[in-house]
């Protein structure tokens, strides 16, 4: 509709997919270690970090749909997504690096943290929203989408491993500041590679013909497929945020394993197991369709988290994380593919390609999950008598940490399954019903 088909070469698919390396490295490292670093390492009160994360969530939630709408309605000879990515990658890498370099006196760390995180928010949304919005435009068939999504997630899992599993080893050797600089440079390099593989269709419809921001919001929130998808995904991605962020506390205070490298083993097991499984889940999606596959993956993921409520040994904990990795892979593949088919369905109703608004509103909802994760963690730690100065925490704290990995995520996934059950697209999917965007 008003655009020309894009011919994508195999090397461009891999180059574009490489952008998921810095996306996941940044997001997962931030979600996993930011509370631990500022609370347990720098000594900032959990309540203050929880407050900063709420502000961060509100700010990011508002910014997502605004940047998405701006991107949808941008017209330039370089495209409507790529210019924002190109402009934003350097300040994004710089602000991410500064998050891990606490400048100034310790009494001002709360304000420093808040300001740097808000700057990081602006550039992260500017770059990542536009990068993800390219996915439905560049790849229009379900087969291509599952293939590229598998590449994205395999590369993204490497970013997760480096951003989640390796920091305990790296900051133990070179310190948090040097690690922040190293990872910031890595992210910049991989975003630059991704730009080389990003190719936009030419949009012939002038911006003046686009629907208004309020009308765009109305169309988005009256789309049943999007509403059920985004609510289900909110609960699913809340567990994604809780799991890696709670594991450092779990290994240190539940398993009583003081070796930081065991965090690397636990988290690395999840992602190493998940990496080859993204291909398997991609094949299952082509065979079963999106709705059936994501419900299966969510149900299995929920079951895999239950043992965290009672495991006591290192071996049983690693076996549990391996099972989590098997199931997690299906969800991270399907989240990409579902929102792409929602954008296609919306185009038939509005005549517009509105990837930016859909990814923006998806980001709006998901940001509340990141803030809720911080509130849950800080609330449990504050409310159960946690203290960073003691090696053995109270029984209430140990129980609370277990619930962050089992009870709370299980309840979240039950809600996620409920919303996915009502997801309207793909109820009678077959291989012959794969969607191709009309050109």
What is the CATH number for 84?
1.20.1250.20
Q: Is residue 188 one of the residues assigned to a domain? A: yes
Q: Is residue 10 one of the residues assigned to a domain? A: no
Name the residue with higher pLDDT: 439 or 45.
45
Q: Which of 172, 178, 208, 149 is nearest to 332 (CA)?
A: 149
Q: Is residue 349 one of the residues assigned to a domain? A: yes
Convert the pLDDT of each residue in 253-269 to its tens digit: 999 987 777 887 888 89
Could you list the residue range(s) of the whole structural domain that residue 139 is in?
15-200+211-425
Q: Is residue 59 one of the residues assigned to a domain? A: yes
Q: Is residue 439 one of the residues assigned to a domain? A: no
Convert the pLDDT of each residue in 26-66 to its tens digit: 988 887 788 888 888 888 888 888 888 888 888 888 888 89
What is the rounded average pLDDT for all residues in the chain?
86
Q: Which of 422, 433, 418 is nearest to 289 (CA)?
A: 433
Contacts of 126-129 spanning 24+ positions with Cβ under 8 A? 126/67, 126/84, 126/87, 126/88, 126/92, 127/84, 127/85, 127/88, 127/89, 127/92, 127/191, 128/23, 129/64, 129/67, 129/68, 129/71, 129/356, 129/359, 129/360, 129/363
Indicate the pLDDT class of residue 10, thresholds 50, 70 and 90.
confident
Convert the pLDDT of each residue in 60-96 to its tens digit: 888 888 999 898 888 777 788 889 999 999 999 999 9
Written as six digits, the tokens of 406 are 């089992």
Query: What domain count does the chain have?
Result: 1
Q: Is residue 321 one of the residues assigned to a domain? A: yes
Written as six digits, the tokens of 9 are 């070469």
Indicate the pLDDT class of residue 183, thresholds 50, 70 and 90.
very high
Q: Is residue 299 one of the residues assigned to a domain? A: yes
Q: Is residue 146 one of the residues assigned to a domain? A: yes
Q: What percent of the chain has pLDDT over 90?
A: 41
The answer for 256, left when phi > 0, alpha when psi is -120 to 50, beta otherwise, is left
Convert the pLDDT of each residue in 118-159 to its tens digit: 999 999 999 999 999 988 888 888 788 888 888 888 898 888
> Mean of the pLDDT values across residues 215-235?
91
């Amino acid at each position: 509709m008003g655009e020309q088909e894009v011919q994508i070469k195999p090397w461009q698919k891999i180059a574009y997919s490489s952008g998921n390396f810095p996306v996941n490295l940044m997001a997962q490292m931030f979600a996993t270690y930011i509370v631990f670093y500022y609370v347990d390492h720098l000594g900032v009160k959990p309540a203050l970090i929880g407050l900063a994360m709420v502000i961060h969530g509100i700010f990011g939630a508002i910014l997502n749909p605004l940047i998405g709408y701006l991107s949808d309605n941008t017209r330039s000879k370089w495209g409507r997504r790529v210019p924002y990515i190109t402009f934003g990658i350097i300040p994004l890498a710089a602000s991410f690096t500064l998050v891990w370099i606490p400048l100034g006196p310790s009494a001002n760390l709360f304000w420093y943290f808040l300001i740097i995180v808000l700057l990081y928010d602006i550039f992260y949304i500017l770059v990542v929203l536009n990068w993800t919005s390219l996915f439905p435009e560049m790849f229009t068939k379900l087969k291509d989408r599952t293939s590229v999504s598998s590449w994205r997630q395999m590369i993204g899992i490497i970013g997760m491993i480096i951003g989640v599993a390796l920091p305990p080893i790296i900051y133990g050797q070179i310190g948090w500041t040097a690690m922040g600089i190293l990872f910031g440079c890595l992210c910049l390099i991989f975003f630059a590679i991704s730009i080389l593989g990003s190719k936009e269709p030419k949009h012939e419809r002038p911006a003046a013909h686009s629907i208004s921001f309020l009308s765009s919001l109305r169309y988005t929130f009256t789309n049943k497929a999007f509403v059920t998808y985004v609510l289900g995904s909110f609960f699913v991605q809340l567990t994604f945020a809780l799991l890696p962020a709670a594991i450092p506390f779990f290994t240190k205070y539940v398993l009583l394993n003081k070796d930081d490298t065991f965090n690397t083993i636990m988290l690395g097991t999840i992602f190493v197991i998940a990496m080859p499984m993204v291909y398997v889940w991609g094949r299952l999606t082509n065979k079963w369709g999106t709705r059936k596959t994501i419900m299966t993956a969510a149900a299995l993921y929920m079951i895999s988290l239950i043992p965290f409520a009672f495991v006591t040994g290192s071996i049983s904990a690693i076996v549990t994380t391996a099972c989590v990795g098997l199931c997690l892979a299906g969800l991270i593949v399907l989240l990409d593919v579902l929102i792409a088919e929602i954008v296609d369905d919306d185009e038939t109703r509005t005549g517009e390609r509105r990837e930016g608004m859909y990814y923006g509103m998806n980001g709006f909802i998901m940001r509340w999950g990141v803030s809720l994760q911080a509130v849950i963690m800080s609330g449990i730690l504050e409310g159960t008598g946690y203290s960073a100065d003691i090696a053995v925490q109270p029984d209430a704290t140990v129980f609370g940490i277990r619930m962050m990995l089992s009870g709370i995520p299980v309840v979240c996934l039950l809600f996620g399954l409920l919303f996915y059950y009502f997801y309207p697209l793909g109820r009678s999917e077959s291989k012959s019903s794969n969607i191709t965007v009309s050109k």
